[in-house]
Amino acid sequence: MKVALVHDYLKEYGGAERVLEALQEIWPQSEIYTAFYFPRFLGPHRQRIEKWPVKSWWVGKLPLADHLISPFRLFTPHYFSHLNLSDFEVVIVSSTGAYQSNLVKTKKGAHFCYCHTPPRFLYGYPTARNWQKHWWGRIAGQLVNHFLRQKDFEAAQKVDYFIANSQNTAARIKKFYRRESRVIYPPVAVEKFIPPKKVKVENYFLAGGRLARAKRIDLAIKACVKLGLPLKVFGRPFGDYGEELKKMAQGGKVEFLGEVSDKQLVSLYQRCRAFIFPAQEEDFGIVPVEAMAAGRPVIALASGGVLETIIPGKTGEFFEKPTVSSLARVLASFNDTLYNSEDCIKQARKFSEERFKREIEKIISEKLMKNQKSVTRNV
C-alpha cells in the first residue's frame, strides 16, 4: 500500500513527532512531507529521523529560515495546497493545523488527519510563545488570525476522516470544524519506563518536557520554592522562558537538568516522589503517562487531556486552579507512599505504542474497505 505521511514541520521532538515516528514504523516505506525540516534541533532523536525519506519546502533552506518558522506560517497554505499526493492510497496528516497541512491534494477517501489539536493560538488556548505581550502584536495577531481561521476551517473540510488524540481534542474538532472524529490516544513507550524491580524513591519532585509557557512549569517552581521542596526540571527551554524560570528558582532547591538522555529520563521518573504537570488545557499529555509507566503518581492541573489519563486518589492528584497556592496546597499534604506503583503502571499500559499501532491500522483498514464497497456499488 502506497502511504504518504504529512507533518507540519520537523524542528523539535514532542508528542506530535512521537506519533509521526509510530506511523513511520507501521509503514516504513512511506514518504514523509513537511514544510520545514531542521534535523540539527532534534537532539538525541536526530540519528533515527535522518534515516527517513523526508521531503520539505525549499523555503526552509533560506538563510535564517529556522528562526522564521512562525511568520512563515502565513505562506505554508501555498506550499501544502500545491502538494499533490493523489497518487497515494493513504495520506495521513499528523497535524496541529497551525500550518494548514490538511490543504494537501489527495484522492477521495484517502485523506486521514490525526489531529493533535486545532491551532491553539487561533482559538484562545495558551501557547508556547507570548505573542500577545505587546499591543502591536495583539493587533497584528487579530488581523492575521482572522485570515488563518478561515484557511484552517477550509483545510479541515478537505479531510475525509478525523482521528483525535483525546476526547478533549475531539470536542475542539466538533466545535471549530463541525466535524466528527474517532479518538485514538497517542503512543507512549510504556515498557521502557517500567522499573524491573522495586526502585528506591528519592526526596525530589520532577517536572519537565518541552519548557514552553503553556506547560506552566513556573507554577511548579514557585510552589516548590514556597514550600522549600526539592524539584528537578528537565527539558530544553523554549525561547527566553528558560531564563525566566531560573530567576524564579533563586533561593529554592531547584535543579535544572537541561535535555537528558532516555536512560537518564527513565531513572528520573522512577526515583521521583511524584511528577508535577501544571500544563493548561493540554491536548493529551504524554509525559504524565510516562511517569505513571515508571510507577510514580502525577500531580496535575485539572484541565485538558490529563482528565482522561490520571485517576485521582489512585495514580495521582489534581489541583483545581492554575495558581501557585492551589498547587502548593496539594504538595503540602502529598504523601507518595499512599500510591501503588502497580496501579500507575496498569493505567499507563492503556496508552501503549502497540495499542496505538493496532487501532490506527484497524481504522485505516475499515475506512479503505468501506470506500472499496462504495466504489463497487456505484459501478
Choice between 214 and 118, residue whose per-residue pLDDT is larger: 118
Query: Both 290 and 206 in a single domain?
Result: yes
Q: Are residues 217 and 305 in the same domain?
A: yes
Residue 322 in this model has a pLDDT that exceeds 70: yes
283 and 194: one domain?
yes
Confidence at residue 131, expressed as pLDDT on a 0 to 100 scale: 47
pLDDT digits (tens, 9 = 90+) for 241-289: 888 999 999 999 999 999 888 899 999 999 999 999 999 899 999 999 9
281 vs 331: which has the higher pLDDT: 331
Whether residues 169 and 203 fall in one domain: no
Mean pLDDT of 11-24: 90
Q: Is the pLDDT of residue 376 over 70?
A: no
Residues 361 and 346 in one domain: no
User: What is the SS3 assignment for 313?
Assistant: coil
Tens-place pLDDT, residues 52-84: 999 999 988 888 888 887 778 778 888 999 999
User: Domain holding 75: CATH number?
Assistant: 3.40.50.2000
pLDDT over 90 (residue 89): yes
Least confident of 83-87, 290-294, 373-377: 373-377
Same domain, 11 and 147: yes
In this predicted structure, which of 1-5, 209-213, 349-353 has the lowest mean pLDDT?
A: 209-213
Q: Sign of torsion, CA 312 320 220 18? A: positive
User: Which H or E run contains 46?
Assistant: helix 46-49
* Structure confidence at residue 71 (pLDDT): 78
DSSP state for residue 40 in the 8-state scheme:
G
- DSSP symbol at 158: T
pLDDT at position 44: 80
277 lies in which domain range?
190-351
When pLDDT is cut at 50, 70 and 90, the band that residue 136 belongs to is very low
Strand runs labelled E in 110-251 = 111-115, 161-164, 182-183, 205-208, 231-234
Which pLDDT value is given to residue 140?
55
The per-residue pLDDT for range 298-316, each reduced to its tens digit, is 999 999 999 999 999 999 9
* Number of domains observed in the structure of the chain: 2
133 and 86: one domain? Answer: yes
pLDDT band of residue 149 (cuts 50, 70, 90) is confident
Q: Taking every pair of C-alpha atoms in the chain, what is the biggest distance, in angstroms?
A: 74
Average pLDDT, the chain: 90
Number of neighbouring beta carbons within 10 Å of residue 46: 13
Q: Which three cell numbers stand for residue 66?
A: 529556522
My answer on whether 281 and 222 are in the same domain is yes
User: 266 and 361 share a domain?
Assistant: no
Residues 6+ apart with CB under 8 A from 30: 3, 4, 5, 23, 24
**Cα 343 from chain centre:** 24
Q: Residues 27-49: pLDDT tens digits?
A: 999 999 999 999 888 878 888 89
- Tell me: do 310 and 329 sit in the same domain: yes
Angle among Cα 346, 294, 351 to the nearest 5 degrees reads 45
Q: Is the pLDDT of residue 139 over 60?
A: no
- Per the listing, cell 489527495 goes with 106
My answer on whether 179 and 219 are in the same domain is no
Convert 201-228 to b/e letters by CB count within 10 Å (16 or more is b): beebbbbbbbbbbbbbbbbbbbbbbebe
**251 and 134 in one domain?**
no
Spatial CA neighbour of 357 closest among 58, 84, 146, 114: 114
